[in-house]
Amino acid sequence: MKTDISVRIVFFTVALASIAILFMIMVFLFMEGLPIFKRVTLFEFMFGKYWYPTSSPPDFGIFPLILASIAVTLVSAMISVPLGVMTAIYLAELAHKRVAEIIKPIVELLAALPSVVIGFFGMVVVAPFLQNAFGVSTGLNLFNAALMLSFMSVPTICSLSEDAIYSVPTALKEGSLALGATHWETLLRVILPASISGISMAIILGMSRAIGETMVVLMVAGGAAMIPTSLMDPVRPMPASIAAEMAEASFRGDHYHALFATGIVLFLFTLMFNIVADQIAHKYRQTGEASL
Amino acid sequence: MAGQASKKDQIKKEIMTEKIKIRARHLNFFYGHAQALYDISLDIKSSQVTALIGPSGCGKSTFLRCLNRMNDLIPISRVAGEITLDDVNINDPSVDVVMLRRRVGMVFQKPNPFPKTIFENVAYGLKVNGVSDRVFIESRVEESLKKAALWDEIKDRLHESALGLSGGQQQRLCIARALAVEPEIVLMDEPASALDPIATQKIEDLIGELKENYTIIIVTHSMQQAARVSDRTAFFYMGKLIEMDETETLFTRPRLKQTEDYITGRFG
């Protein structure tokens, strides 16, 4: 009994420590970010169109940064969702077992690529290609960043979706096939609807990975803090802005606080993604053998 | 009295002249290197209930799943020998397995309704078979649910999730779902084993009613159930067909000692 209690206390303390550290980081983030609102209003900060933190007087409008983050994430989702989900369907339902055994680790290996390597690839290979192929002034732009980010989120989307599809009970597949449905009809009408919650969760987690990713967008998004008007415009997503400017911002100056406030906004975005994913997971929690 | 006797004669005549629906000849079945069925030869007659009994792992479910080629789903499986349905070999490459499964419906051990509404569950088979006439689908859904003795219980909540039904209701829904595509044969793999006695009773009554229009093959662990619902019974043991006969004969005067031992509960 006594060891039971002490073991519990030890684990509780360890668990508490990691939560406490996370909590402290959050407190720190808010403490350092909120003072900017003495200089500008929340509205000006969020919807101001100009981000010139070092001019005098400085402009602290992060609207172009927010828009850049959203645009980059959405465009990357347009690429990574079909790629990831269809690969997952292929692996879980269509591929020969041996083929799947080869492809699956390769897809997962993509997740192991350091983001700086992906960024490097985007810079050295994709950017010149885009520049030549589309005749744009710079290949470091929204589309390039979105493409690189989609490479990063495909493994997440793919392997989580595959788990979801794989976990559809065999009984349901058999039930459908036994009624004279083809494999394709079974996939479309039974397996996918039954795994849609897992797939949506995979998509959201993949997108949340894309929106928070820093190195890739720092390297290949182009870095122009302006509202993009085309896919080939250079942009400056929030993480890139924070990473690029933090070193040169004077400690506890307005710029410094503005960057932390940008961090808060970014944090709220990823938090929102995670809450939505969690909600979906709860809503469709498996309650019985055949219920998904 | 005379009427009754002639009725009996009539039934007897019917049984004697009963058409053979399914004929298995020298059927061997393998999972990889393991052989699951050995040289099974048997006939299944039209409009009868045939029960397959035997201890776990004796091959009765495997045999059942050969009849609608459900075993095709297992990549390492292999069939040798012949199964004919209305004198056509169902394992012939020219046979469309989708059409076969439409003719040979199946009800599984555990109720497996789709996570859709009750209506959608029953309509599913029609829809995947290309029926799009709404009125026809509605009438067929109602008819199937009535045949499965479920209509009165659920007619007011057709558009609610099928997962809200009780286990017994779910199983009858699965039967309705199978009936909706108008199969000729219904395979039942221990359809009542996951159900309580009252739900089991309902399923058994249902089987009795259905056999007029369908050929039913039921796998069951319960010998009482086989005795109650079936016309003919086949006893499987270790992948072999040991004995097959009229149910009454098999349970009262089995020809083989092994069968007698099993049905009297001495082993298995």
Cβ-Cβ contacts under 8 Å between A and B: the total is: 79
What is the bridge-based pairing of β-strands B49-53 and B215-219? parallel
pLDDT of residue B6: 67
pLDDT at B139: 94
Task: Answer with the residue of higher pLDDT: A292 or B173.
Answer: B173
pLDDT digits (tens, 9 = 90+) for B151-205: 999 989 999 999 999 988 999 999 999 999 999 999 999 998 888 888 889 889 9
Contact between chains at B125 and A185 (C-beta distance less than 8 A) = no
pLDDT of residue A63: 95
Work out the angle at residue A219's Cα, subtended by the Cα atoms of residues A63 and A129, and round it to the nearest 5 degrees. 110
The CATH code of domain B26-263 reads 3.40.50.300
Note the pLDDT of residue A289: 39
Nearest C-alpha of chain B: how many angstroms from A179?
A: 5
For residue B52, is pLDDT > 90? yes
Average pLDDT, chain A: 90
Q: What are phi and psi of A90, to 5 degrees?
A: -60, -50
Per-chain mean pLDDT for chain B = 89
Average pLDDT over residues B231-236: 94
Higher-confidence residue of A104 and B267: namely A104
* B116 and A CB contact within 8 Å: yes
Mean pLDDT of A162-190: 92
Q: Which CATH number applies to A2-291?
A: 1.10.3720.10
Per-residue pLDDT tens digits for A105-119:
998 888 888 999 999
Instruction: Tell me which residue has tokens 């619902």.
Output: B229
State the nearest Cα–Cα gap between B236 and chain A, in angstroms: 24
Q: What is the model's pLDDT at position A16? A: 94
- A158-174 per-position pLDDT tens digit: 999 999 999 999 999 99
- Based on its alpha-carbon atoms, the radius of gyration of chain A, rounded to whole angstroms, reads 23
Domain positions in chain B: 26-263
Give the pLDDT mean for A258-273.
94
pLDDT value at residue B19: 83
Nearest chain B residue to A176 by CA distance is B125
pLDDT tens per residue, range B88-132 = 999 998 999 999 999 999 999 999 999 999 999 999 999 998 888
**Pairing mode, strands B185-189 and B104-107:** parallel
What's the rounded Cα separation, in Å, for the pair B27 and B41? 6
- Determine the pLDDT at residue A108: 86
Cα–Cα distances in Å, from B95 out to A56, A156, A175, B151?
81, 41, 20, 35
Q: Give the per-residue pLDDT at B188.
A: 94
pLDDT at B140: 94
pLDDT of residue A287: 43
Q: What is the pTM of this model?
A: 0.80
Q: Is B140 on the interface with A (CB under 8 A)?
A: no
Segment A16-35 shows an average pLDDT of 94
Amino acid at B244: M
Nearest CA among A101, A97, A70, A111 for reference residue A207: A70
Nearest in space to B125 (alpha carbons), one of B152, B147, B101: B101
pLDDT at B54 > cutoff 80? yes
For residue B2, pLDDT beyond 90: no
Cα angle value A77/A80/A81 (rounded, 5°): 75
B216-242: burial string, b at 16+ Cβ within 10 Å, e else: bbbbbbbbebbbbbbbbbbbbbebebb
pLDDT score, position B198:
87
> Any CB–CB contact under 8 A between A114 and chain B?
no
List CB contacts (< 8 A) between A100 and chain B: none
Q: What is the reported pLDDT for A292?
A: 36
Q: Where are the domains of chain A?
A: 2-291
Contact A290 B68 (CB under 8 A): no
Percentage of chain B surpassing pLDDT 90? 63
User: Is the model's pLDDT at B268 over the cut of 70?
Assistant: no
CA distance B48 to B40: 20
Q: Which of B106, B129, B163 sits opposite A291 (nearest CB)?
A: B163
Tens digits of residue pLDDT in A56-104: 889 999 999 999 999 999 999 999 999 999 999 999 988 888 999 999 9
What span, in angstroms and rounded, lies between the C-alpha atoms of B133 and A203? 36
Residues B28-32 have a mean pLDDT of 92
The yes-or-no verdict on residue B51 having pLDDT over 60 is: yes
pLDDT in tens, A208-231: 989 999 999 999 999 888 899 999
Helices first, then strands: H and E counts in chain B:
11, 10
Helices (H), B18-78: 60-67
Question: Which among B193, B225, B221, B191 is positioned nearest to B54, based on CA atoms?
Answer: B221
Q: How does pLDDT run across A135-164, given as a tens digit for each residue?
A: 888 889 999 999 999 999 999 999 999 999
